Every structure is written in C-alpha cells, then in structure tokens.
Amino acid sequence: MRFDHYDPEGFYDELFTAKSQPRPEATLLIERFNSFSASEIKRRQQSAQIALMKLGVTFNVYSDGQGTERIMPFDIIPRIVSAQEWKELEQGLKQRIYALNLFLHDIYNEQKILRDSVIPAELIYSATGFLKPCLGLNPPGGIWCHITGTDLVRDRDGRWYVLEDNLRCPSGVSYVLENRRVMKSTFPQLFNTMPIQPVEDYPSHLLETLLNLAPEYLSDPTVVVLSPGIYNSAYFEHSFLAQQMGVQLVEGRDLVVADGYLQMRTTKGLQRVDVIYRRIDDDFIDPQAFRSDSLLGVPGLMEVYRAGRVGLANALGTGVADDKVIYAYVPQIIRYYLGEEPILANVPTYLCWEPQQQSHVLANLDKLVVKAANESGGYGMLIGSQASPAEREAFAEKIKANPRNYIAQPTLCLSRVPTLMEEQIEGCHVDLRPYILYGKNIYVSPGGLTRVALRKGSLVVNSSQGGGSKDTWVVCK
C-alpha cells in the first residue's frame, strides 16, 4: 500500500505536510505502511475489526427491538501527535479543567464571578445544567469534575480549538484502550521501533482518582461504577472500566439508602458504598431530588451526598459548564480565576441571546454552524452551508423563539488524516477527545480518542452519526 498518491489537497493533514512529505514524527509509520502490500493492509484492517467484535467492544443499537451490537468502525492508520505538540495541549487542558473547577465551585457557593459581572447571572440561572439543589455543596477537595473528555479540533491553518468540554459523563475511553490493544497485536513491529506513549495505565489513574474521593479514615473504601444497565449504548464501557479497575458494576436497583449511608444489596445483606463513578445523568440520579419518574437512580442519594457520606464522580451540577453559551465564556473564566491567558482557544462563538450577535447569525446562516446549547451527539444542530433554504428558515424561527438556547460558530475546516476507504487511502476529517482526570493532581491521558468522519468530505465524526475511530499516538520523533 503506497502513500505516493496521497495528497493533503490543501487541508491541514495530521501525517503529511505536503504530497509525499510525511511529518517528521510520522516518517517511520509511513515507511512501514509503504512496505506492506495493499492486500496485506486490507487483511490487517479486517482482522482488527473482527478482533474488536470478538472482544465485544460494541455499542448497542436498540432500534429494532431485538438489539444489535455494532463496533465503531476502526481504521488502522493511526493519528500521530508529536510529544512537543502534546505537551502544549496538555498544559492547555490542565489550565482549562483547573479553571472550570474553580468556576463550578464558585457558582454553587459564593458566586463571586456573578457579582463581579464577568458572566451575566441570568445565563447561569437559565442553564439547564445548573442545579439548584447543589447550591452550597462542597465536594471533597473542592473538585467537581474528576473525569473530563474535552473535544478538540484543528482548523485549516493547523491551530487547535476547544470545541466543547464534556464535564458530565464523557464516553469513549474504552475505545482508546481497546483500539490500542488491537493495534499492538496488528502492528507489533511499529510499537517496537516507535516511542509511543502508553495509555494502558488509564484504569489505574481512574481508580486513584476515585479513591481520592473517599474519606481519608477509610482504609479500604468501596468504589463502584453506576450504570443505567445493559440497554445503555455505552454499557460495554461501563462494564469494561469496572472490570479493569476490579470494582463492582452496579445499577440503581442494586443501591439503597439505609442508616444514612448509601448501601448495595449483596447476598450477605447491605454493604456500604463510599465512592460512585456514575454514568447516569444528573437528572436521573435521585428521583427525590430531581426527576421523580426516573427508575435509574437511588432515592435519597442526594441527602447522603450532601452529608459527605458518599463521593460522586463527577459531582452533580457540572453540566452547567457544558452549556454551549457558558462555554463561550470559558476564556474569561480562565482569566478571572487564574489571571492567565488561555493556552487553548475557543472556537469563535456568537450568542444568539445578544440581539446584535443574533442579527449577525440570522444574516449569515448559510455560513455558520448553529448548535442548541444542551444537545450532544450531533443532534439539534444546523450546518448552514449544507442545509436547504427551507431548513435554514425553520432554524431561524427556532432561534428567534428561544435565543438563549442557540449559539453559532463559523464552519471550521477540520484537519484530516489518511484513512483506508474502499480501495484507496483518502484524507478524512477528524477531531480529538483527550481524557483528563482530576484527583490529587490533574492527569491527561496521552492521546485520546480520535474520531473520524468516514463519509468523503463529511465533517460529522459522531459514532451515532456513522463516524469511526483511530488510535492516537503521542510520539517523540
């Protein structure tokens, strides 16, 4: 399989600077791939996919009532980030998570940032992720967001932008670990010759982060992963992480509040739970405090949490910082709490909530991407350049009806990575989701999940929209 014909075509390419010009950190990889025949590459691609299916690295699609399991399509040409470049990203991510935590603690307690009018208070109060029951909470160490998956993209000029901060229950890290496992068995020689930073210790770091939430006097705290159950699309990941950490995977029905503590029902009676890594949304976690119709959570959990008798990762209420309107203020948040300039840039964002910006958005709908403030997975958005006039008109009405709920951003031209498509290698657009753990210190797992848009020219990388993934290698040249 030769890369001779591969042409970056004026896009920012993660592996090539120009046609036949690999980036220094990708040279070894390209040489190696060039030495394989096309059929060899194809065979390896297929066996990698089969390995993932066998390992059961799947997500569930329950559209037909039967339930089918699919793997996220996996491409064996990795994405490479140089160690030097990674270092800068890492610093930027740490700075961002540090500031966001201070922000979360502040708005649920003293609210200095609102009093200093850095962010209009009404924006906070109207954010659906802002939870009144969390006012006055003081989670251990003042840390609210223990596990974050921040989405980054690179524009045509090669500059990195933060697309969004996922501060609630970010998914995908199991793919990072399993993709790496499969890559190692597919190309063992590459791992022998290239200095690729390992990702396998993520579960250990995650467990440390969770243990850090338990009261110090407990010598052997009980940590659990709380899942909505086997019908959840990310169930594989919940089960995988519990298994890798050696902790119990529980569902809401396994838990009960008794004697002021959270306990799980075991064959030998009730047993106390000290820390929960929860993969259930805030709204569903305690029907007494939030949605009364939810059967997923545990009645009374909020009381136990308030009393500091159970640790929750992530804390409740972190979704307020995921709101895409609040996101627009993150650079100000960093300056306000840290007195530093942000290392990582936001994508320029227009707030439809401000009349002037709204008129600009409405006048330029064909050039912008409009997003609802609280949707994810590629839903509730309009890609102006690809929409029909009627679709744009319908979206304009939505914006006017509920301006607080919409933001708009220029269409970025995401960077590309060579990817196997049918019979040849084509450049496909990618994003990157690194995983950040905040326990005693902030740890950024080297690399992260690279999602790739598998339709030619497509900018949509979400797995629910047919995107695939690649292994991400952080390498010293």
**Of residues 25, 90, 164, 251, which one binds another protein by CB under 8 A?**
251
Of the listed pieces 118-126, 260-268, 302-310, 326-334, which binds another protein according to CB under 8 A? 260-268
**Of residues 29, 143, 242, 452, which one binds another protein by CB under 8 A?**
242
At 151, give phi and psi (nearest 5°).
Answer: -90, 125
**Of residues 63, 189, 267, 356, which one binds another protein by CB under 8 A?**
267
In 3-state terms the chain splits into helix, strand, coil percentages (rounded to 5) of 35, 25, 40
The Cα–Cα gap between 250 and 431 comes to 32
**Of residues 30, 206, 250, 325, which one binds another protein by CB under 8 A?**
250
How far, rounded to the nearest angstrom, does the alpha carbon of residue 106 sit from its chain's CA centroid?
24
**Of residues 229, 331, 410, 466, which one binds another protein by CB under 8 A?**
229
State in angstroms the smallest separation of the CB of 444 from another protein.
26
CB of 473 within 8 A of CB of 196? yes
CB of 216 within 8 A of CB of 274? no
Tokens of 185: 């068995």
Size of the site for another protein (CB under 8 A): 25
Strand, coil or helix: what is 384? helix
Residue 270 as a binder of another protein (CB under 8 A): the answer is: yes
CB of 179 within 8 A of CB of 469? yes
The Cα–Cα gap between 152 and 164 comes to 7
Of the listed pieces 156-164, 215-223, 232-240, 380-388, which binds another protein according to CB under 8 A? 232-240
**Of residues 135, 230, 345, 363, which one binds another protein by CB under 8 A?**
230
The Cα–Cα gap between 13 and 429 comes to 9
State in angstroms the smallest separation of the CB of 229 from another protein.
7
State in angstroms the smallest separation of the CB of 303 from another protein.
17
State in angstroms the smallest separation of the CB of 47 from another protein.
16
Residues of 122-139 as b/e, b for ≥16 C-beta within 10 angstroms? Answer: ebbeebebbbebbeebeb
Residue 248 as a binder of another protein (CB under 8 A): the answer is: yes
Residue 54 as a binder of another protein (CB under 8 A): the answer is: yes
Of the listed pieces 150-158, 244-252, 402-410, 419-427, which binds another protein according to CB under 8 A? 244-252
CB of 434 within 8 A of CB of 445? yes
**Nearer Cβ to another protein, position 55 or 396?**
55
Cα→Cα distances 215→192, 212, 223, 262, Å: 43, 8, 12, 14
**Of residues 65, 269, 339, 355, which one binds another protein by CB under 8 A?**
269
**Of residues 51, 256, 396, 460, which one binds another protein by CB under 8 A?**
256
**Of residues 109, 126, 128, 239, which one binds another protein by CB under 8 A?**
239
**Nearer Cβ to another protein, position 257 or 334?**
257
**Nearer Cβ to another protein, position 265 or 360?**
265
Cα→Cα distances 85→23, 362, 412, 430, Å: 13, 37, 20, 17
Positions touching another protein (CB under 8 A) are: 54-56, 229-230, 235, 239-240, 242-243, 248-251, 253-254, 256, 258, 264-270
